[in-house]
Amino acid sequence: MRENERADYLIVGSGLSALVFGALMAKDGKTVYILEAHEYPGGFGHTFTMAKKYHFNAQLHYVWDCGEGNTVNRVLKQLGLDKNITFERYDLNGFDHMHIPGYSLEIPSASDELAKQLSALFPEHTSHIQGFIQAVQKVRQGLKCLSPPMRPQLLLKQLPVALSASPLWQHTPDVFDEYQLPEAAQTLLALQWPDFLLPPEQLSFYAWVILFTGYQEGAYYPTQHFEHVINSLVGSIEENGGKVLTDTEVTEFLVERRTVKGVKAIDRRSHETCVFWGDRIICNIDPKKAASMIGLHKFSPSVQRKLDYDYSPSNFMAYCAVKDLDLREYGFGPWNTFHSEDVDLNAAFKRMYEENDFSRPSFAITTPTLLTTAKRDYPEDCQILEFLTVANYRYFDELQKRDRKAYNRKKEEILETILNIVERDYMPNIREHLVFRITGSLTTNERFCRCPQGNS
Ligand SMILES: Cc1cc2nc3c(=O)[nH]c(=O)nc-3n(C[C@H](O)[C@H](O)[C@H](O)COP(=O)(O)OP(=O)(O)OC[C@H]3O[C@@H](n4cnc5c(N)ncnc54)[C@H](O)[C@@H]3O)c2cc1C
C-alpha cells in the first residue's frame, strides 16, 4: 500500500466546485490534492472525445455570472485566469429559442423587449404580461441582496419588496396563474425546464426567477469551450504545487476519533491501493454516498435526517455530429433551442418521467460549435448537436440489467423520435448528414459522473 505525503487540503472528487476551491487554496500557498475516480477531471463538466475527433461536454451548456465584476469573473481574477478564460455571450436578442405547437418565442435579455414580444403574441393579455414582468424584476432585485457580497441595509430594504411580489413557497404555475398569463405564454416562459429537470408544477417560483433572469443578464459559453476552463483550473492547481489525480477512486474514509483524517483510494490503472492524509478533507462527492462509506451511524441524528434526501431526476442525452451541413441555415445559432410537442409541460414531463413514453417529447437542443468562433480540432465541415430530456433512473437501470439490447433500443427510440421532429420542423435532411451519434441515459451519468441514480 502506497502512503502519500500529507496535504493541507485533500479533496475527494474533481467537480467544478472542487477545482475552483482547490485552485484558490493552491494559489494561497496550501498543498492541495484532488482525487478523481474518472479518467477526466471536471465531474458533470468533463469533456470526452469520441471516435478520436468529436468532443462533447457531459452536461454543461451555458453559465451565468461571467460578466465583468460577477462571481465567475471575480474568482478568475483572483486566480489570474481572467485573461486566459474568457466567455462569449449568447445572442442578446434571443438566448433561448422556444417552440411549442402554434407559438415561438426568442427570449431576449431586455425585460421590456420580452414584455413587448409576449404582448405581440398575446395582445389581449398585455397588462397582465407587464405586471408579471415587473413582479419578476422585483423578486430578482430582492434575491440579488441574498448573493454575496451581502449588504445588510440593502437586504432590509429590498427583500420585503421581493417577498411581497410573490411569497417564498409559491410554485411557478401559481404565480403565472395569479398574473393571468395564458397557458401558451406560461409554457413558453417555463420551457427551459430541462435546466432544472423539473416540471413547472414542482419548481419554486424563486428558483425559476434566479435561472431565468440570471441568463437574461448574461448567458455565456467559454470562448475555448468548457474543456479549457477545466484544464486551466487543473493547470493552476498543478503550477502551485498541487495534484489532481485522475483514475483514483476513493474507497474508504479513514476516521480517527470522530474525524475523517484521510482516505484509501484505488489507482484504477495499476490497481494499487494508496492512502492519502490531509489536515482538512473536503468532500465534493454526493454527501449521502460519502456518509454511507463512512458509516451513517457515526453521524448525529440531525445530520442523518439531513442526509435522508431523495435524488433528483436526471436526463437522457444524445451527442451527435453533423457533416457538410451548416446548422445556422436551419434556425440554430448562439442560443439554445427548447421544443415541446405538448403545451402542457407538466403532462409532458409526467409522460416521459413516470410513464417512459417519449412519443410526444419536450426537449432541449444545444449547438456548442455555434457558440464560439474559436478554432478547435473538430473535423472540417462538422458541427456538434446535442439533445437533452428527462428520464427515469429506475426504468433505465432495470432495463439495462434485464435486457441490454432493449435498453439500447429504448435510447435509440427516443433519439429517433427527436430526429423525426427535427426533420419535420427544423432540418428536413438531418439524418443524411449525421456522421456520429451516441446516447446516454442516467446509468451513463452514474457510471461516468458517479452520481447516485444518475441524479442531476
Ligand atoms: C443534465 C445537466 C445539465 C446541466 N447543465 C448545466 C448548465 O448548462 N450550466 C450550469 O452551470 N450547470 C449545469 N449543470 C449543473 C452542473 O453540471 C453541476 O452543478 C456541476 O458541474 C456540479 O459540480 P460539483 O462540483 O458539484 O461536482 P460533480 O460534477 O458532481 O463532480 C463530482 C466528482 O466526484 C467524483 N467522484 C465521485 N465519487 C468518487 C470517489 N469515490 N472517488 C473519487 N472521485 C469520485 C466524480 O467522478 C465527479 O467527477 C447541469 C447538470 C446536469 C445533470
Secondary structure string (H, E, C) spanning 365-416: EECHHHCCCCCCCCCCCEEEEEEEEEECHHHHHHHHHHCHHHHHHHHHHHHH
Q: What is the mean pLDDT of residues 21-48?
A: 97
Mutate to test the pocket of ligand 1, among 234, 282, 285 (most ligand atoms within 8 A of CB): 285
Cell numbers representing residue 406 in the block: 432493449
With a 6 Å cutoff on the Cβ, whether 62 touches ligand 1 is yes
Q: What is the mean pLDDT of residues 278-298?
A: 96
* Domain ranges, ordered by start, for the chain: 2-69+224-307, 110-217, 310-454
Closest C-alpha to 367, from 344, 345, 347, 383: 383
**DSSP β-bridge partners for residue 274:** 2, 265
Q: What is the mean pLDDT of residues 340-360?
A: 98
Closest C-alpha to 191, from 358, 318, 338, 302: 338
With a 6 Å cutoff on the Cβ, whether 181 touches ligand 1 is no
Tell me what pLDDT residue 326 has.
95
Closest C-alpha to 234, from 36, 7, 455: 36
With a 6 Å cutoff on the Cβ, whether 387 touches ligand 1 is no
Tell me what pLDDT residue 292 has.
96
How much of the chain, in percent, has pLDDT values that exceed 70? 98
Q: What is the mean pLDDT of residues 26-41?
A: 98
Tell me what pLDDT residue 385 has.
96
Tell me what pLDDT residue 166 has.
67
With a 6 Å cutoff on the Cβ, whether 386 touches ligand 1 is no
The residue whose CA is least distant from atom 12 of ligand 1 is: 60
pLDDT digits (tens, 9 = 90+) for 105-162: 999 999 999 999 999 999 999 999 999 999 999 989 888 877 767 777 777 777 777 6
- Torsion sign (Cα): 73, 77, 81, 82: positive
Check if the beta carbon of residue 332 is closer than 8 Å to that of residue 368: no
Tell me how far apart the alpha carbons of residues 224 and 145 are, in angstroms, rounded to a whole number: 32
With a 6 Å cutoff on the Cβ, whether 285 touches ligand 1 is yes
Q: Name the burial class of residue 382, with classes exposed (0-12), middle (13-18) and buried (19+) by CB atoms within 10 angstroms of its CB.
A: middle
Tell me what pLDDT residue 378 has.
73
With a 6 Å cutoff on the Cβ, whether 456 touches ligand 1 is yes
Tell me how far apart the alpha carbons of residues 138 and 246 are, in angstroms, rounded to a whole number: 45
Cell numbers representing residue 259 in the block: 474525524
Cell numbers representing residue 7 in the block: 496535504
Residue 242 pLDDT grade (very low, low, confident, very high; cuts 50, 70, 90):
very high
**Topology annotation, domain 2-69+224-307:** FAD/NAD(P)-binding domain (3.50.50)
Q: Which amino acid is at 271?
A: H
Distance (Å) of CA 303 to CA 252, 280, 291: 20, 19, 10
Q: Which of 167-181, 184-198, 242-256, 337-351 has the lowest mean pLDDT?
A: 167-181
Confidence check: pLDDT of 75 > 80: yes
Tell me what pLDDT residue 1 has.
75
With a 6 Å cutoff on the Cβ, whether 63 touches ligand 1 is yes
Spacing, Cα 114 to ligand 1 middle (Å): 32
The residue whose CA is least distant from atom 2 of ligand 1 is: 59
Tell me what pLDDT residue 162 has.
67
pLDDT digits (tens, 9 = 90+) for 442-451: 899 999 999 9
Tell me what pLDDT residue 375 has.
76
Tell me how far apart the alpha carbons of residues 144 and 154 are, in angstroms, rounded to a whole number: 10
Q: Which atom of ligand 1 is nearest to the CA of 251?
A: 41
pLDDT digits (tens, 9 = 90+) for 368-412: 999 998 877 777 789 999 999 999 999 999 999 999 999 999 999
pLDDT digits (tens, 9 = 90+) for 81-101: 999 999 999 999 999 999 999
DSSP assigned state of 137: H
Q: pTM here?
A: 0.94
Q: Is 3 helix (H, G, I), strand (E, B) or coil?
A: strand
With a 6 Å cutoff on the Cβ, whether 314 touches ligand 1 is yes
Tell me what pLDDT residue 155 has.
74
Tell me what pLDDT residue 409 has.
96
Are β-strands 96-100 and 336-340 bridged in parallel, bridged antiparallel, or unpaired? parallel
Residue 275 pLDDT grade (very low, low, confident, very high; cuts 50, 70, 90):
very high
Tell me how far apart the alpha carbons of residues 236 and 24 are, in angstroms, rounded to a whole number: 9
Spacing, Cα 286 to ligand 1 middle (Å): 10
Cell numbers representing residue 160 in the block: 420585503
Cell numbers representing residue 92 in the block: 442578446
pLDDT digits (tens, 9 = 90+) for 161-188: 767 666 767 889 999 999 999 999 999 9
Check if the beta carbon of residue 33 is closer than 8 Å to that of residue 243: yes
Confidence check: pLDDT of 199 > 90: yes
Helix, strand and coil percent figures for the chain, each rounded to 5 = 45, 25, 30
Q: What is the DSSP string of 333-367?
A: SSSEEEEES-S-HHHHHHHHHTT---SS-EEEEE-
Tell me how far apart the alpha carbons of residues 218 and 65 are, in angstroms, rounded to a whole number: 7
What does the mean pLDDT of the chain come to?
94
Q: Which atom of ligand 1 is nearest to the CA of 315?
A: 1
Tell me what pLDDT residue 346 has.
97
Tell me what pLDDT residue 379 has.
76
Are β-strands 7-12 and 273-283 bridged in parallel, bridged antiparallel, or unpaired? parallel
Mutate to test the pocket of ligand 1, among 12, 60, 263 (most ligand atoms within 8 A of CB): 60
Q: What is the mean pLDDT of residues 234-244?
A: 98
CB atoms within 10 A of CB 305: 10
Number of helices (H), then strands (E), belonging to the chain: the values are 16, 18
Q: Which atom of ligand 1 is nearest to the CA of 42?
A: 49
Cell numbers representing residue 114 in the block: 420580452
Tell me how far apart the alpha carbons of residues 451 and 15 are, in angstroms, rounded to a whole number: 11
Distance (Å) of CA 380 to CA 226, 321, 322: 20, 11, 11
